[in-house]
Each structure stands twice: as C-alpha cells, then as structure tokens.
Chains A and B, each alone.
Chain A
Amino acid sequence: MSTALESKIRIQREDFSVTDEIEAIKKSSRNIGGITCFLGTGRELNKGKNIVELNFDHYPQMAEKKLAEIREKSIKDFGLIDMSIIHRVGNIDIGENIVLIIACGEHRQETFKACEWAIAELKRTTPIWKRETTSTGEVWVQATP
C-alpha cells in the first residue's frame, strides 16, 4: 500500500484510481456497510463551447485546510465512519478525473447526504480555480452551482 493512498485529504497533479481509493478507505473499519462516491470528470461542453483543456490553480495550504475541515465536519455531522477527498490540479484533459469524494458509513443514507454536502461545500469554500481553454481562448470559470 502506498503512503499516498493512506492520506484522506489529497491535492495532487497525478491521476488516481477510484477502485484503489475505495479499497484503501474500506480498510479503515470493518463496520462500513455503505459507501457513496462522487467522481467529477472533465466534460467537453460548457455553455455551448468545446473545451479542449482544463487547468486548475489552487492555494495549497488553505485548500488542504478547507478540505480537512469538510472531511471532519462530514464525519461529525452525518455520523460517517470515514471520508476521503482528492482533488487534482494542473492540466487535465477532457474525460479525466478531477475530484473524488468517498463517504463511508454503517448505512447508506448518511453517505448519500454527506457526499452531496461535501462537494457543495468544497465548491463554496475551497480555494481552487478552474480555467477552461476553448478554440476562442482561455477563461477563468466563475463559481458554478
């Protein structure tokens, strides 16, 4: 098992394996009965324009702090057993993985709720910025719902 997989909060340039991440977090408890994953990927179309490349900038120390806060609050407020959050930065091609949230609980309900809350909170509080490159140029994306 790599050291990287043991960290529950990661911001990294390289891609990740959803399967490996699920297998890693399953080891945190034998009482996990439900796992919900949210995987965000790079899509080709935004507002009618073809995107050829995505690039993510971030504020490393603050982004890691905010993701850690989201994980801790998710576990506490929704009664999760564990959660991991991974976000990629740098250049990302269409179809590639961007963000992964894995919520683990004894039952399914709390994991569905926690996962939805966590991605919304990530978008609201975490200093990560997306730049889209289209055939007409580059644009920094404003906050999206």
Chain B
Amino acid sequence: MRVTVKYFASLKQMAGKEEDHFNVDEGTTLEQLSVLIGQSVSQLGDMVREKKVLISLNYDVVPLDTVVKDGDEIALLPPFSGGI
C-alpha cells in the first residue's frame, strides 16, 4: 500500500519539502507510520509520537492508533493560527 504524508507551515520548512510517499503494510497505524516519517525527517517522527503536532487522515484529525489504507492522505499539522 502507498500513502502520502503532507507537511505544512513550520513543518514544511523543517522538512524542506511539501510531502513524502511511503509504502506500508496492511494494518499499519499512524504511530507505526511515524517511524518511517522520522527516517525521512528525523525531528518529525518524535513530534508525532510526542503529540506536538496533530495528524489528519483524509482531512479529519484522528488518533495515532488509526490504521491507514491504500491511497490515504495524511498530514502533519502544527498548532493552527488562522483568524487574527
């Protein structure tokens, strides 16, 4: 299975890229995916596991024990600061 992980705002700057693509096994959770994310951008894996960032799956914030599916779009979201 293949999933996409997107980075935004400060995390995009930290990663130096807008997204990654990962091949994962069936039944992989977001917490397990965070290990692969950490191999791509070292600080980000820890930030996910330490819950310093929110994580969304197909546009909704979800817990780390959520299982991903083929084609899913995951995003790492720093604290929001829209509005004023």
A interface residues, Cβ below 8 angstroms from B? 40-43, 56-59, 61-63, 65, 87, 98-99, 119, 122-131, 140-144
Contacts and interface: CB of A to CB of B under 8 A. Distances in A.
Contacts, number: 73
Nearest to B10: A140
Interface of B: 6, 8-10, 12, 56, 59-60, 75, 77-84
A98 B8 contact: no
Main secondary structure of the interface of A (DSSP, over half): mixed
A117 B80 CA distance: 16
5 contacts: A43-B84, A123-B83, A125-B80, A129-B10, A140-B78
Given A129-B8, A129-B9, A58 B79 contact: no
Contacts of B60: 62
